[in-house]
Each structure stands twice: as C-alpha cells, then as structure tokens.
C-alpha cells in the first residue's frame, strides 16, 4: 500500500500502473470567537472543523495532480472567528473549510464543544473542552474535532489552536485559538492489478516460464530467488477467491466466465494460479408418480439425486468437462396411472480426480417408492432442506418427493404435484380423473476456490 500526505500545497504524481487512489481529506478549521470586549454574560463559540471528503477517484498513471491545502482560520481578537480555507485534489475532489466561531449575541448558532469524540476517515478525535474561569460573565467553548486532530480548548487569557482540520477554541482576554490547516492523504494499492502479474520495485513486469525478464538488463531472465539475492523487491499478486454455480440450464456465481457450454454439458477452465477446487455436486431428482383411481388412490414422490462434496487437485488452465443431470420429467396418467421418470446423473472429470453422482429414481405408481411428508430434513454441502408435503385425497393421497442437496422436495398434490428443486424429488399426484406429477429437480454443481 502506497501513501502520500500533504499538509501544504504540492503536486501528486500518479505512480505507473495506478488508475485509482483513495482520498481522505479535509478543509481548514475555523478559528474560535474572542469575547473579552462585549456585554456581560456572553458565550463564545468554538470554530467548526473543516469538511471531510473520503472516497475512491479514478486517475491517470503518470498524471501530475495539483494539491491545495486549505489554511486554518486565523486567530481573532474581540470578534467572531474566521473561516478555514478549502482543500482540493486537482479537479477530482474538494473539501471546504469550517466556519468561524460565533458569539451568543449573534444569529449564527454556536458550536459548543465540550470534549465529545468524533470519528472520521482520519481517525477518532475530541472536541475542545469548555472554559468557565470567567463565568458567569464569559464562557469560552471548545472547537470542533477535525478529520485529523482534536479541537482547540476554550481559554481564559490563553488561546488553544485546533489540530489538523479542527476548529480553534474560543477565548477571553486574549486572541482566540486558530483553526487547524487542512490535509490531503492519498492512498493507493501498489500491488499488480492483474492476476499473475509481477511487480518489481513498483513497476509491473512480465513473467516468462517462471522467471522474470528484466528489459533494462538486455532481456536476461532471472528467477525470483536470484532477484531477492540482488536486493530487488518482487512479489506476485495472489489469485482472488472465486465461486461458480452450474445448473442444467444456467451458469451463475462470482466467476461465470470460467464456464462455457449449455444444456447440461459444460467445460470449466481452472483460473490462473489455482491448484485445487472444492465441489458440492448432485445428480437430478426423479419425478413423482401419477395415480388415477376411484378407490382410495395413493401415489408416491420421486427420490433425490445422489450428492457428494470433496476437494480435488487441479492445474491452472486445465479444462474440465462437466455434465449436469436433467430432472426426471413429470408424468400424466389416466387410469390406472403412470410411474415417474428417473433423474440424470451429474459428473466432473478432472485429470487427477473425478466425481460421478447418479440421479434419483422416479416413483412407481402402483408399488410406491418414497413417502415424503415434510417432516424429514437432510443437511448437505448445499444446505438443510426438507421433504415435500403429503396431500390428502379420499382417505389416502399423494406423497412428497425426497429433499435434495440444494432444495426442498416437491409436495404431493391432488391432480398436480409440485416439482423438485436442486436435485430433490418431485411430488406425486392423485386424481379420480387425470393426474400430473411433479418433475424432479435438476442437478447442480458449485465449484469454489481460494486464491494463493
């Protein structure tokens, strides 16, 4: 992390390779009021802090940015305080100065600093404290805490200036406390901006077959160890953490660009510098059965797909084939009914390891397979999910599908069962006329990795 702090006007030259900087800045603080020559029973207000600006701004590498620092409001005698000046970072950001302290007889509200704490981007600082040595005739209040410093104390025959960006304290029988000058703090990340890039002595340099090529040395290649031995500062930016979710018909997550393909057939490309990946994978669920009868019909839900979780060793840039199973299709039955369809298997086949998980069975309309009723829960690498619910019908009914790795089982239904999700089984259906079961939930794989 690079940093440059300006307490006086100057120029910031953007380092090579840097396209944004983080600013923490403030204007000058206002000075406090001085109240020795006035009516009795007067309150003197402390100066206000310079306004804060904090945030990230885009810059141009090599650009010279003019930095202006706002002056603190000057000390005053027998007067309200003076305002602080404005600080600026080129045309990118400004922070105006704080107002000068007021008197109780003025219409301007007083700032009554009494030692309270305030937190800014520059840290936590305290307001100045009140001085009541001349009370009840004169009371001198403290200045407001600034972005980088404490507020000045109220004073009797003594004046207390504000810290950086803070308001000066009010005073009696002497000049007031001056406001603190502004400040601009510039911070930037001086590591390489791209995964796999190297940086040496602040300049990005290319990598060639595990070594560093130094152009100024005739293009000769050096190992990292050799560079360290010769006093160079070299490091490599770590690959970021990542995750991607692959469903039969969709790709999502933080890194969808790592996956190509569609309709259940995909390729995952291992990111730069990643040497292992963690998997949570499930096959697709089977669909429920559909039973049609006038004699206390009973139907069953589909089974869930098998699931697995593990970490496998991979190679950066390796292209890994992945298959995601499709959920068992729903069935529509006329008398006497139809059995559900099985879900498809899911798999991932890397060079060093492979995982294959089967799909769930579809329900048999006459024999019965899975009787889910919402009470059973399973906890998997994908979360905690429950079976589908039972639907009552004519003294019997339709059972729900089995909970899956990534979703609840489909519930049974009269006439129509509900579909499974994330590898769960679909719900069964019953009717005295025509019944349609719930489809099984499609398979899924979640791949995650940690940067090194």
pLDDT tier at 206, thresholds 50, 70, 90? very low
| C-alpha torsion sign, points 310, 311, 312, 315 | positive
- Report helix, strand or coil for 178: coil
Calculate mean pLDDT across residues 208-229.
Answer: 47
Contact present, 426 and 276 (Cβ < 8 Å):
no
Residue 224 has pLDDT above 60, yes or no: no
β-strand pairing of 290-292 with 429-431? parallel
For 182-192, what is each residue's pLDDT tens digit?
A: 999 999 876 44
| Spacing of C-alpha 406 from chain mean position | 24
**C-alpha count within 13 angstroms, C-beta hemisphere, residue 240:** 8
DSSP secondary structure, 129-154, as one string: PPB-TTTTTEEEPBPPP-SSSPPPPP
Residue 127 has pLDDT above 80, yes or no: yes
Beta strands in 121-230 (DSSP E): 123-126, 138-140, 155-156, 171-172, 183-188, 198-200, 203-205, 207-208, 211-213, 221-222
Residue with tokens 């219409």: 107
Q: Report which of 184, 167, 158, 222 is spatially closest to residue 26, judged by C-alpha positions.
A: 184
Whole-number Cα distances in Å, 371 to 390, 403, 426, 435: 8, 11, 11, 18
Res 50: pLDDT: 96
Mean pLDDT is lowest, of 238-242, 380-384, 414-418, for 238-242
DSSP secondary structure, 419-441, as one string: PP-TTPPPPPEEESS-EEPPPPP
| C-alpha torsion sign, points 425, 408, 246, 196 | negative
Residue 308 has pLDDT above 80, yes or no: yes
Res 134: pLDDT: 73
Residue 263 has pLDDT above 60, yes or no: yes
Greater model confidence, 89 or 203? 89
Whole-number Cα distances in Å, 121 to 22, 90, 96, 163, 341: 11, 20, 16, 15, 61
Q: How far apart are CA 150 and CA 226, in angstroms?
A: 49
pLDDT tier at 365, thresholds 50, 70, 90? low
Calculate mean pLDDT across residues 312-317.
Answer: 92
Res 194: pLDDT: 41
Contacts of 363 (CB under 8 A, 6+ apart): 286, 287, 288, 289, 299, 300, 301, 302, 303, 339, 340, 369, 370, 425, 428, 437
For 230-261, what is each residue's pLDDT tens digit?
A: 555 444 555 678 899 999 999 998 888 899 99
Q: CB count, 10 Å around CB of 204?
A: 15
Residue with tokens 């994330």: 422
Res 93: pLDDT: 94
- Report helix, strand or coil for 42: strand
pLDDT tier at 37, thresholds 50, 70, 90? low
In the chain, where the domains are located = 1-190, 192-236, 243-449
Residue 207 has pLDDT above 60, yes or no: no
pLDDT tier at 424, thresholds 50, 70, 90? very high
| C-alpha torsion sign, points 51, 52, 57, 59 | positive
Average pLDDT, the chain: 84
Q: How far apart are CA 332 and CA 289, in angstroms?
A: 8
Partner residues linked to 431 by β-bridges? 292
φ, ψ for residue 179, nearest 5 deg: -75, 155
Res 367: pLDDT: 47
Q: How far apart are CA 50 and CA 30, in angstroms?
A: 7
Mean pLDDT is lowest, of 70-79, 138-147, 251-260, 334-343, for 334-343
Q: How far apart are CA 93 and CA 51, in angstroms?
A: 12
pLDDT tier at 27, thresholds 50, 70, 90? very high
Output Rg (C-alpha) for the chain, integer angstroms: 36
- Report helix, strand or coil for 351: coil
Q: By percentage, how much of the chain surpasses pLDDT 90?
A: 56
């Amino acid at each position: 992390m690079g940093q440059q702090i300006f307490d006086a006007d100057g120029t910031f030259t953007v380092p090579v390779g840097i396209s944004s900087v983080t600013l923490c800045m403030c204007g000058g603080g206002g000075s406090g009021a001085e109240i020795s020559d006035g009516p009795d029973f007067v309150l003197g207000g402390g100066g206000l802090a310079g306004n804060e600006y904090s945030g990230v701004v885009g810059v141009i590498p090599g650009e010279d940015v003019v930095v202006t620092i706002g002056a603190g409001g000057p000390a005053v005698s027998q007067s309200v305080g003076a305002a602080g000046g404005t600080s600026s970072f080129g045309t990118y950001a400004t922070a105006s100065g704080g107002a000068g302290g007021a008197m109780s007889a003025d219409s301007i509200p007083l700032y009554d600093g009494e030692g309270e704490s305030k937190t800014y981007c520059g840290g936590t600082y305290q307001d100045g404290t009140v001085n009541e040595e001349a009370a009840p005739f004169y009371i001198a209040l403290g200045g407001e805490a600034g972005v980088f410093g404490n507020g000045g104390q109220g004073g009797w025959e003594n004046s207390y200036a504000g810290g950086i960006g803070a308001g000066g304290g009010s005073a009696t029988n002497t000049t007031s406390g001056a406001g603190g000058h502004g400040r601009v703090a510039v911070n930037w990340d001086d590591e390489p901006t791209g995964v796999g890039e190297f940086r040496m002595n602040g300049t990005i340099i290319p990598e060639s077959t595990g070594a560093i090529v130094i152009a100024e040395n005739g293009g000769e290649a050096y190992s990292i160890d050799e560079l360290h031995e010769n006093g160079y500062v070299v490091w490599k930016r770590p690959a970021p953490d990542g995750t991607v979710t692959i469903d039969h018909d969709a790709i999502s997550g933080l890194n969808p660009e790592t996956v190509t393909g569609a309709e259940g057939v995909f390729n995952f490309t291992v990111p730069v510098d990643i040497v292992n990946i963690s998997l949570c994978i499930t096959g697709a669920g089977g669909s429920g059965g559909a039973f049609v009868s006038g004699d206390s019909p009973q139907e069953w839900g589909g089974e869930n797909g098998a699931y697995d979780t593990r970490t496998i060793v991979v190679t950066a840039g390796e292209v890994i084939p992945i298959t995601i199973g499709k959920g068992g299709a729903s069935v529509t039955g006329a008398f006497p009914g139809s059995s559900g369809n099985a879900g498809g298997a899911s798999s991932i086949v890397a060079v060093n390891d492979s995982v294959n998980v089967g799909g769930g069975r579809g329900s048999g309309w006459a024999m019965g397979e899975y009787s889910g009723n919402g009470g059973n829960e399973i906890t998997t690498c994908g979360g905690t999910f429950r079976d589908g619910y039972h639907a009552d019908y004519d003294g019997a009914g339709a059972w729900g599908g089995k909970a899956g790795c990534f979703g609840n089982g489909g519930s049974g239904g009269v006439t129509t069962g509900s579909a499974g999700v994330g590898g769960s089984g679909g719900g069964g259906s019953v009717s005295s006329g025509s019944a349609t079961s719930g489809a099984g939930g499609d398979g899924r794989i979640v791949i995650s990795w940690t940067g090194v």
